[in-house]
Structure 1
Amino acid sequence: MTIIPTYTPPDFSQGPLASAPVVTTEKAPADGVAPVNFHATSNHPEYVQVTKGSWVLIRENRMDTVIRLRQRVPEAVEARRLKKGDEVVVGRGEEGEMGVYIHTDGFVKDDSRDGTKFAFMTRGSRETPFSRSYDHLYEVLRHEKKHGFIAWVLGPAVAFDKDSRNAMAGMIHKGYCHALLAGNALATHDMEAGLYGTGLGQDIYTREIKALGHYHHLDLLNKVRHAGSIPQAMKQLGISDGIIHACESTGVPYVLAGSIRDDGPLPEVIVNTGDAQDHMRTFAKKATCVITLATQLHTIAFGNMTPSYRVMDDGTVRPVFFYVVDMSEFSADKLANRGSAQSTAILTNVQDFMINLYNNLAQ
């Protein structure tokens, strides 16, 4: 039995959709500017009636973009990418009344509780049992390794523990990672561990604070910048393990997006936010499974770029599995409150999570 749920498209021959109008467009008045009353996209399957009776699904959607129409093909485009004169969908209806229909229940199954109207434990929390979530994730990853595209979004906590760092590197070597998204900190502290055996100056196994250890990540940054690149620094410094080394040795692409607080940063860190978003969006368009670990801002950023569905090469529509792993309920709730309501939360220590995951998938 497949773990990918079947998608049920809307029935455009029935009800109000049958008499819905063709979508209306207006020209972008200037580069990077949308017309007034533009339609803003969701992360759900979104259909545009480009001619009467022809409803076209946006193939690569994401929330908070506009819809540009080119040769009757709708595409979700960040407003900053618009060129003057582009045809942009206008009208803020979502039920077809403006020629746009947002389909929210294409993957919905009957989730009734046999008529039960009152129940406990209906909202995820740190008390929630996650055994089924883990088992499902194991199934998903085994499937996606061969048939999908797995993107990981990592915070530095994954590299602060010896076993967790090894587990993530092992997942990459085993083929369970097709792209890695992170910031300067993850790569810096991962390489710090490779050179000094520390994370922010603390031994990643014994937790011993090393004398002047708070210099370690700064020294590492300086050495990498002097070498000119991460691959060159790994050769010069003899770094032969860890997460970034695993990416380099297996050819798994990674995007390091910069932030205001970055030290250094590493040469590969993309400090222009628009450029960083463009690089991240490349993999958001491909992802069929996303796992985010202990990084609230990068999680929300990638979540906002990733639709809830993927249109495959054969035209079939499938969901994108999105997991947020964190000790904090707040982080998971904030992601959902920013529009990624389809995400599944596993509330636990991410280092324990990584070790658990690797031990179950490494066989």
Structure 2
Amino acid sequence: MPDDLSSVTRFRPPAFDAVPLSAAPDARFVPAPAHGVLPDSFFSTTNLPTYVKVGGAWRLPLEPRMDSGIVLGTDGVLRIREGRRVAKGDLVVVGKAEDGSEGVFVHVHAFVEPDDGSEFRFMTSEVSREKPIDYRQMALLLLEQREAGGYVTWVAGPALVHSRARTDMTWFVDQGFVQVLLAGNAVAVHDIEASMFGTTLGMTGTGQASTGGHGLHMRAINAVRGAGSIAKAVEQGIVKDGIMHALVTRGVPFVLCGSIRDDGPLPDVITDAVEAQDAMRAHATKATMAIMIATALHAIATGNMLPSFTMDRDGVLHELPTICVDSSEFVVSKLKDRGTRQAFGVVTNAQDFLHILRLFVERELDARDRNPTSRDHASRGGKSPYPFLPIT
């Protein structure tokens, strides 16, 4: 994704019909020695487009992600698998070279022009609060995703609720811009507390601490545990509005992952870390866009499960639009340092980001209602340049 979000990244296909890739050997496969154990020389994946040569043909494995192995299934399909999910005897790609010389090619420049860095330029840091934020481009991304049936994955931290962005987040769910929410116990707890008591961690909407408010989130947890689940609490009228209410009533899935510090937790929270990772991964494989707001750990965890690309209906790869929002440059930089290089950083607070983004989306919707032929994507012949098919 470009740093300014102002242009569509163009995929540069590998030159498979030219040397050296045309002369590259087939990849080598070695059986996994035991369940959950990869061969010593296994190829460790990245989140970039990675091709494996099998039977003289270069193929793109399904379910791409970083920090995993590549397995050739009995059905002849290549899939990327976490080491713990590999079974004894599975055929695993081995080798360390990424240039195709061992039958594996990592397409580093799939979306990025090689840059020797020789030109002197200002404002070249990838993450800065001084860079402009193109909210209209993000609004267009969301609208095109919704129109084309994309799978927009939202990742949120509790600051989203505390900062009074709850109403705007609920609006995005209601309007069909959210296909899944990945979060922790706290996001759901404080959203439900706000529905039941009008506070988050005892703090009112004006930012004032309420008397006895420190226990209100525990009362919210207890009420949901008594109901049996968040969905049942919604059905019983315990939770009447907010993010979780909208997700339940709209049938939008959510994954709540537990941590060692959780209060309660809510009955929907997955407390086994491996089970939680699998649940998140099931949605990450479907993602065609990701928006991460006010969470370091969940953003990095999701980023590690996401490919940097996806595929359109014509089989062309596109960079997966990934937006990371936080009040600190550190979180966005940390995400990129952990391998999610395609992430576009927005350094601002959750309330401002969601409120402004909603205004731009509503503005675009209003413009289209007034003049349907003026749609931005109409100038591209009605074809969206953005990805809508996961590599699964």
Alignment TM class, shorter chain as reference: over 0.9
Looking at structure 2, the residues matched to 96 and 69 of structure 1 have their Cα atoms a distance apart, in angstroms, of 18
In structure 1, what is the equivalent of residue 213 of structure 2? 213
Letter of the 2:71 partner, please give it.
R
In structure 2, what is the equivalent of residue 131 of structure 1? 133
In structure 1, what is the equivalent of residue 22 of structure 2? 18
Letter of the 2:45 partner, please give it.
T
Looking at structure 2, the residues matched to 339 and 4 of structure 1 have their Cα atoms a distance apart, in angstroms, of 21
Letter of the 1:120 partner, please give it.
F
SS, match of residue 236 in structure 2? helix
In structure 1, what is the equivalent of residue 180 of structure 2? 179
Letter of the 1:67 partner, please give it.
I
SS, match of residue 181 in structure 1? strand
Letter of the 2:340 partner, please give it.
S
SS, match of residue 168 in structure 1? helix
1:151 is the counterpart of 2:153? yes
1:242 is the counterpart of 2:242? yes
1:85 is the counterpart of 2:73? no
1:102 is the counterpart of 2:106? yes
Q: Is the 8 A contact 1:41 1:66 kept in 2?
A: yes
Q: Is the 8 A contact 1:281 1:305 kept in 2?
A: yes
Looking at structure 1, the residues matched to 254 and 89 of structure 2 have their Cα atoms a distance apart, in angstroms, of 35
Q: Is the 8 A contact 1:60 1:311 kept in 2?
A: no
In structure 2, what is the equivalent of residue 317 of structure 1? 317
1:15-60 Cα deviation digits (max 9, x unpaired)? 21121111001111110000111101100000000112x0001232
Residues 1-363 of structure 1: matches in 2 within 5 Å?
Answer: 4-52=8-56, 54-70=57-73, 71-108=75-112, 117-132=119-134, 134-147=135-148, 148-162=150-164, 164-203=165-204, 205-312=205-312, 314-362=314-362, 363=365
1:97-148 Cα deviation digits (max 9, x unpaired)? 11000002222358899xx82122111444423233x222111111111222
Q: Is the 8 A contact 1:169 1:242 kept in 2?
A: yes
Shift of 1:341: 1.0
Looking at structure 2, the residues matched to 228 and 118 of structure 1 have their Cα atoms a distance apart, in angstroms, of 61
Q: Is the 8 A contact 1:50 1:72 kept in 2?
A: no
Letter of the 2:159 partner, please give it.
A
Letter of the 2:112 partner, please give it.
V
After TM superposition, the structure 1 stretch with the greater mean CA deviation from structure 2, 68-77 or 272-281, is 68-77
Shift of 1:320: 0.7
Q: Is the 8 A contact 2:129 2:348 kept in 1?
A: no
1:176–1:3 CA distance, 2 compared to 1 (3 A): farther
Question: How many residues in Structure 1 have an aligned counterpart in Structure 2?
Answer: 356
Shift of 1:315: 2.6
Looking at structure 2, the residues matched to 67 and 226 of structure 1 have their Cα atoms a distance apart, in angstroms, of 44
Looking at structure 1, the residues matched to 20 and 128 of structure 2 have their Cα atoms a distance apart, in angstroms, of 43
Q: Is the 8 A contact 2:319 2:342 kept in 1?
A: no
TM-score scaled by length of structure 2: 0.87
Looking at structure 1, the residues matched to 130 and 295 of structure 2 have their Cα atoms a distance apart, in angstroms, of 21
1:192-218 Cα deviation digits (max 9, x unpaired)? 000010011000x21121111110111
SS, match of residue 131 in structure 1? coil
Letter of the 2:50 partner, please give it.
E
1:126–1:13 CA distance, 2 compared to 1 (3 A): closer
Unaligned regions of 5+ residues in structure 1, if any? none
Q: Is the 8 A contact 1:182 1:255 kept in 2?
A: yes
After TM superposition, the structure 1 stretch with the greater mean CA deviation from structure 2, 235-244 or 68-77, is 235-244
Q: Is the 8 A contact 2:129 2:346 kept in 1?
A: no
Looking at structure 2, the residues matched to 60 and 311 of structure 1 have their Cα atoms a distance apart, in angstroms, of 12
Looking at structure 2, the residues matched to 202 and 341 of structure 1 have their Cα atoms a distance apart, in angstroms, of 36
Unaligned regions of 5+ residues in structure 2, if any? 1-5, 366-392
Letter of the 1:330 partner, please give it.
F
Shift of 1:314: 4.6
CA RMSD of aligned residues (A): 1.9
1:56-112 Cα deviation digits (max 9, x unpaired)? 012320000100012442210011011111001111110001100000222235889
Q: Is the 8 A contact 1:288 1:319 kept in 2?
A: no
SS, match of residue 20 in structure 2? helix
Letter of the 1:57 partner, please give it.
L
SS, match of residue 217 in structure 1? helix
SS, match of residue 199 in structure 1? coil
Letter of the 1:73 partner, please give it.
V
